[in-house]
Structures are given as C-alpha cells and as structure tokens.
Amino acid sequence: MTINKELTPVTARGEATRRKLLAAAEVEIGEKGFHVASVSSITTRADVGQGTFYLYFHSKDEIFLTLVRDIGSRLRKHMALAVNGSANRIVAERRGLEAFFEFAHAHPGLYRIVQESQFVDESVFREYYERLAESYAEDLAEATANGELAPGDAVARAWTIMGIGHFIGMRWCLWQQQVPTPELVDAVMDLIANGIAPR
C-alpha cells in the first residue's frame, strides 16, 4: 500500500494532531491488535473528532502502516543516540542493546504492531527490519575495517545480533514487562563478544 503524501500536515498544530493520532494508534493497535482496533477507538483515545482523522489519514490501514514506519524511525534514532560517542564497537553493542530494551519496554505494543504488519503489507514489515539491518551492518563493517572486530560477514552478524535482541526483548520487556538487568545484558554481551565455544 502506498501512503498518500497529500495528507501530510503543513502546520505545527496539524503535525501535533497527527502525532496524537499516531500515539493513540500505537496504544490501541498495540493493546487490541489491528483488526479489533478501529478508527473510532483511535480518535476517541486521541480526543479528536472522527472527521479530523481523515484530514491526516485515508484509512485504518494507512495510519497503521505509517505507524510501523514511524516506530521504526524512532527506534533507529533512539539507538543511534545511545551508541553515539562510544569508545569502541563492543561498548556501542552494549549501549545499542540497552537502548533497544529501553524502547521495547517503553513501547509495549511494538512487537504486536510490527508482527501484525506482515499481514497488512508485507513490504512494510520487511522494510522495518531491513532498514534496521542495513545501517547496522554498515556500522559493523566499518568497525571491522578499523580493527575493532574480528573479520566476518557484517550482514550475517547484523541479523544475528538483531535476533538476539529481538528475543531477549520479547522474553523480558514484553512478557515480563521489565528492562533486562545489567547482569542479563552482561550474559548477552559475553555471548556476542566471546561466543559459546570452550575457552
């Protein structure tokens, strides 16, 4: 589905209303799922008239797919800020993981929203992960070229470490509703930095 650019707000007030609708959609869809949430439930939560919704989005599908892209963009920015200025790549890996866990804990609908998007528009679902992986692989490749990491396939590493973060986040942030402890992050970082072979 192509998101229509014509409904992009041109004023600060309009953008604020659009952000309210996206925030409400995140909670509604995150709690109820895409098929149960409705335009009326989103506008009620956002405290705006239902007619106002259609000044910004053509349909529930459109706000949902916009939300998936928006939440992915906010996650990438959150993680980029967290790793900025890291002393080395291993420090950056830890900061990035911690930032992901913080974001996942603060946005409990994240997993449901992203996973359900594959059934609404698979290209947007794939884009969410591919955009994360693309920039991440570039960072890993650069760190490898600088001698901060052992030689290896940066793309395979990016997807593997993303998988680790994804499932740790699901187990602790989503199911237990808590940020993983520093000790747990230590265990994850030991695996990332040293692997599981005997030492």
Residue 5 pLDDT level (bands cut at 50, 70, 90) = low
Q: How far apart are CA 155 and CA 141, in angstroms?
A: 8
Q: How far apart are CA 21 and CA 19, in angstroms?
A: 5
Domain boundary (42, 58, 74) is at 58
Angle at 159 between CA 157 and CA 162, to 5 degrees: 105
Domain match, 42 and 106 both = no
Domain match, 52 and 101 both = no
Do the beta carbons of residue 20 and residue 48 sit within 8 Å? yes
CATH number at residue 53: 1.10.10.60
Q: Is the pLDDT assigned to residue 71 strictly greater than 60?
A: yes
DSSP 105: H
Q: Note the helical H segments in 146-168.
A: 154-168
Tokens describing residue 181? 């402890």
Domain match, 54 and 114 both = no
What is the mean pLDDT of the segment spanning 57-69? 97
Q: Is the pLDDT assigned to residue 7 strictly greater than 90?
A: no
Tell the residue number behind the tokens 């229509």, with chain if given: 4
Domain match, 51 and 100 both = no
Residue 199 pLDDT level (bands cut at 50, 70, 90) = confident
Q: List the domain range (segments joined by +) for residue 152.
A: 61-199
Do the beta carbons of residue 81 and residue 75 sit within 8 Å? no
Domain match, 50 and 65 both = no
- Write down the mean pLDDT value for the chain: 95
- 70 part of a folded domain: yes
Domain match, 38 and 90 both = no
Q: Residue 192: is it exposed, middle or buried by C-beta count within 10 angstroms (0-12/13-18/19+)?
A: middle
Query: Which whole-number Å values give the CA distances from 118 to 58, 121, 149, 167, in the listed order?
Result: 20, 5, 34, 18
Number of domains in the chain: 2
Q: Which tens digit of pLDDT belongs to each residue from 97-148?
A: 999 999 999 999 999 999 999 999 999 999 999 999 999 999 999 999 999 9
Tell the residue number behind the tokens 């930095």, with chain if given: 193
Do the beta carbons of residue 131 and residue 76 sit within 8 Å? yes
Q: Which tens digit of pLDDT belongs to each residue from 10-54?
A: 688 889 999 999 999 999 999 999 999 999 999 999 999 999 999
- Supply the pLDDT for residue 2: 47
- 1 part of a folded domain: no
Domain match, 68 and 49 both = no
- Supply the pLDDT for residue 6: 54
DSSP, collapsed to helix, strand or coil, labels residue 93 as: helix
DSSP 133: H
